[in-house]
Amino acid sequence: MPICEIFDWLFPTKCLICGNEVLPNSILCSNCFSKITFVDYPFCDICGKILENSYNSTYENFLCQTCQTHPRHFDQARTLFVYDGFSKNIVMKIKKQADNFVANSCTQMLFSKYKGIFAQSDFIVPVPSHWSRILKRGYNPATIIAVEFSKISGLPIRKILKRSRKTDYQKGKNISERLENVKDAFCCTTDLSNKNIILIDDVMTTGATLNECAKVLKNCNCLKIFCFTIGSTAGYKPT
Ligand SMILES: [Zn+2]
Ligand SMILES: [Zn+2]
């Protein structure tokens, strides 16, 4: 690899979406940065989703339609940006290329916003991939994100959740199908009495996977579960 390419890899100077020059230690140029919808109030108090049809709403502490109709086993979920056709490019850098620099930039932003949640938590648990997917890909994207959170927060990672069976990809399924697809797909045998846990995945869509993992952890007596993802699709306001 030529020395300039090694330097580019170590210290990226190009926007990862459009390829334009960026400031040192940035992953996006100002133009692409402005196209990302960062999640800010108002969002659902439980799942943390920005509500598609109420961007200008002023009320707080409300729940989205899904959290009202499908009880969540996790206490709170928080994310950095709305997962859409544009921001997908950032998530794919972590998912397809195991890009630690991108994972670090995203987790830094989340950590600075939610330091209080990390301060009251005991350790970090990544949502596990099935061993056959890790064999194929070489890594678990949730672990890459968890490692960066661990470095920043000082909290240890504990891989206490296991996949008890392989599941279909969740893509293209509705919430009921997704819930069914991940039902009983995870297990944990560790006693988690008095523990607060940070649960990590790359993206939240319906939240079915995080919810199933949280159910298993709560069955092991875990106190509170805080989920963090890099992106999350928009939610819906109750009608
Ligand atoms: Zn750009
Ligand atoms: Zn919600």
Question: In this predicted structure, what is the pLDDT of residue 176?
Answer: 81
This model's pTM is above 0.75? yes
> Both 5 and 93 in a single domain?
no
Phi, psi of 48 (to 5 degrees): 75, 10
Taken as a whole, the chain contains a residue count of 239
Cα(42) to centroid of ligand 2, in Å?
A: 11
Q: Which of 47, 76, 43 has the alpha carbon at shortest distance from 60?
A: 43
Q: Which domain holds residue 161?
A: 36-232
Q: Please report the sign of the dihedral spanned by the C-alpha atoms of residue 74, residue 76, residue 82, residue 87.
A: negative
6 and 73 both lie in a single domain: no
Q: Which ligand is nearest to the CA of 86?
A: 1
Do 30 and 65 belong to one domain?
no
Which ligand is closest to the CA of 71, given by its number?
2
Residues 26 and 40 in one domain: no
Q: Are residues 12 and 76 in the same domain?
A: no
Closest ligand to C-alpha of residue 227 is 2
Nearest listed ligand to the Cα of residue 207 = 2
Query: Lowest mean pLDDT: which of 58-62, 144-148, 159-163, 226-230?
Result: 58-62
Task: Indicate whether 113 and 84 sit together in one domain.
Answer: yes
Residues 78, 23, single domain; the answer is no
Ligand 1 mean position, distance from CA 14 (Å): 8
Alpha-carbon gap, residue 71 to 46, rounded angstroms: 10
pLDDT of amino acid 165: 78
* Structural domain contains residue 4: yes
What CATH number is given to the structural domain containing 72?
3.40.50
Confidence of residue 63 (pLDDT cuts 50, 70, 90): confident
Instruction: Please say if the pLDDT value at position 59 is more than 80.
Output: no
Q: Which ligand sits nearest to residue 15's alpha carbon?
A: 1
The mean pLDDT of the chain is 88
Ligand 1 centroid–CA 27 distance in Å is 8
Q: Residue 55 CB: number of other CB atoms within 10 A?
A: 11
In tens, the pLDDT along 3-39 reads: 545 555 555 578 989 999 888 878 899 999 999 999 9
In a domain, 8, yes or no: yes
Q: Are 160 and 105 a contacting pair, CB within 8 Å? A: no
Could you tell me the distance, in angstroms and rounded to a whole number, from the CA of residue 91 to the centre of ligand 1?
15
Domain count, the chain: 2
